[in-house]
Amino acid sequence: MIKFLDLQKINLQYQAEIEARLLETFRSGWYLQGNEVKNFEANLATYIGSPNAIGVANGLDALRLIFKAYIELGQLKFGDEVIVPANTYIASVLAITDNRLKPVFAEPNIDNFNLDISAIEALITPKTKAIMVVHLYGQISWSEELEALAKKHDLKIIEDNAQAIGAEWNGTKSGNLGDAAGFSFYPGKNLGALGDAGAVTCKDDLLAKTIRAIANYGSEEKYVNKYQGLNSRLDEIQASVLDVKLKYIDADNEKRRKIAEQYVDGIKSNKVILPILPANPKEHVYHLFVIRTKKRDKLQKYLTENGIQTLIHYPIPPHKQKAYKYYNNLSFPVTEKIHEEVLSLPISSIISDAEVNQIIHILNQYQ
Ligand SMILES: *Cc1c(COP(=O)(O)O)cnc(C)c1O
């Protein structure tokens, strides 16, 4: 069977280095707020090109903390509206509602699954204070038009960069395009930890300081609490593993690009709608390779029967979830069509050419 994602194989690529660092951290006797985190934060900031990187407990917290800090700083207030794509993982929306801000859902482009920027302006009201872009599936969601719109209406741009570490737009890395960005290092992400982990990058030093404090019980000085904070810290063990893997992220992403090209060149089935690859290959890091097809369940079953594991990202959009009952009556036809038709094929830095060719061959025989 070809697995959707073989995490064991991915991490064993760096076995010797990771085990050495883990042992060192274990033996150091220092497990939180130490040199491993400091070192990883510095290397992440350098990699992204951002003046600030803050390690946190997970990707959802990274996004929640950005909004929380803006509220503490008086730059956002409860009830403010945040434009967010309707087709995203629910974490993007939870970060907004958890802070008693109002998500305003926007439709994506069917061609690249990312925000339809031309549709945003119509959604802006006097209460709109921010746009959250999600670089979905690893593809940059950005344009000059978006920058101009944010400037014109004085909106902050927050990037959900959980899926796109290493992607670039005109020479700038995702995570350094907007005002602040949330990263996830969930094990299956392109840069994956051995458990939960995340980070925030941001341009403003005061915002960074505030996020760092809120993530540590609202404290800048031990036992002195400036904010009603939370406990959302990256730990030393995860930071040491991430620091090893960060060195290989560009090479890993490059392998993913090659696989995506192999799929696009090889898949000839008229039952499959392929993603349109960006003209500049650096704009996509292929966290997922997502095709569309009319009878999705039938194709998924066919692939399973032929030994190919696939997943759906995602089967139900946030506004149709029970958790958001009060949004269930909203209608976003493009988003809903995407959720009915998408299917993610295996892609990773370790899947072999032979496996990809086998998947292509099986897909091309699908009737
Ligand atoms: C994974 C993911 C998150 C959340 O990250 P966690 O580390 O699982 O909390 C947020 N947004 C998107 C788009 C994601 O894919």
Query: For ligand 1, atom 2, which residue shows the shortest CA distance?
Result: 162
Percent of the residues in the chain that have a pLDDT greater than 90, as a whole number: 99
Handedness of CA 140, 141, 142, 145 (dihedral sign): positive
Question: Could you tell me which of 113, 62, 64, 105 has the C-alpha nearest to residue 81?
Answer: 105
The pLDDT of residue 97: 98
For 35-88, what is each residue's pLDDT tens digit?
999 999 999 999 999 999 999 999 999 999 999 999 999 999 999 999 999 999
Q: How does pLDDT run across 147-199, given as a tens digit for each residue?
A: 999 999 999 999 999 999 999 999 999 999 999 999 999 999 999 999 999 99
CA of 59 to the centre of ligand 1 (A): 5
- Between the CA of 28 and the centroid of ligand 1 the distance, in Å, is 31
User: Rounded to the nearest whole angstrom, what is the distance from the C-alpha of residue 165 to the centroid of ligand 1?
Assistant: 12
Pocket test for ligand 1, best of 60, 90, 158 (most atoms within 8 A of CB): 60
Percent of the chain past pLDDT 70, that is, above it, reads 100
Q: How far apart are CA 352 and CA 347, in angstroms?
A: 10
What DSSP assignment string belongs to 216-279? Answer: BTTEEETTEESS---B---BHHHHHHHHHHHTTHHHHHHHHHHHHHHHHHH---TT-BPPPPPS
Q: Which residue from 186, 196, 290, 311 has its CB within 8 A of the most atoms of ligand 1, so it is best to mutate?
A: 186
* pLDDT tier for residue 277 given thresholds of 50, 70 and 90: very high
CA 91 – ligand 1 centroid, Å: 6
CA of 60 to the centre of ligand 1 (A): 6
Closest atom of ligand 1 relative to the 62 alpha carbon: 9
Atom of ligand 1 nearest to the CA of 185: 7
List, for residues 76-108, the tens digit of each pLDDT value. 999 999 999 999 999 999 999 999 999 999 999
Q: Which amino acid is at 93?
A: V
Question: Can you give the pLDDT at residue 269?
Answer: 96
Q: Give per-residue pLDDT as tens, 339-367.
A: 999 999 999 999 999 999 999 999 999 99
The rounded Å distance from CA 163 to ligand 1 centre is: 7
Prediction pTM value: 0.98
pLDDT at residue 235, as a whole number: 98
Reported as a single tens digit per residue, the pLDDT across 223-254 is: 999 999 999 999 999 999 999 999 999 999 99
Q: What pLDDT shows up at residue 19? A: 98
pLDDT of residue 223: 92
Cα angle 225, 231, 237; round to 5: 130
Helices 15-28 + 236-246 axis angle, to 10: 150
Q: How far apart are CA 126 and CA 44, in angstroms?
A: 36
Enumerate residues lining ligand 1, CB below 6 A.
Answer: 58-60, 88-89, 91-92, 134, 160, 162-163, 184, 186, 196, 198
Ligand 1 midpoint to CA 40 (Å)? 20
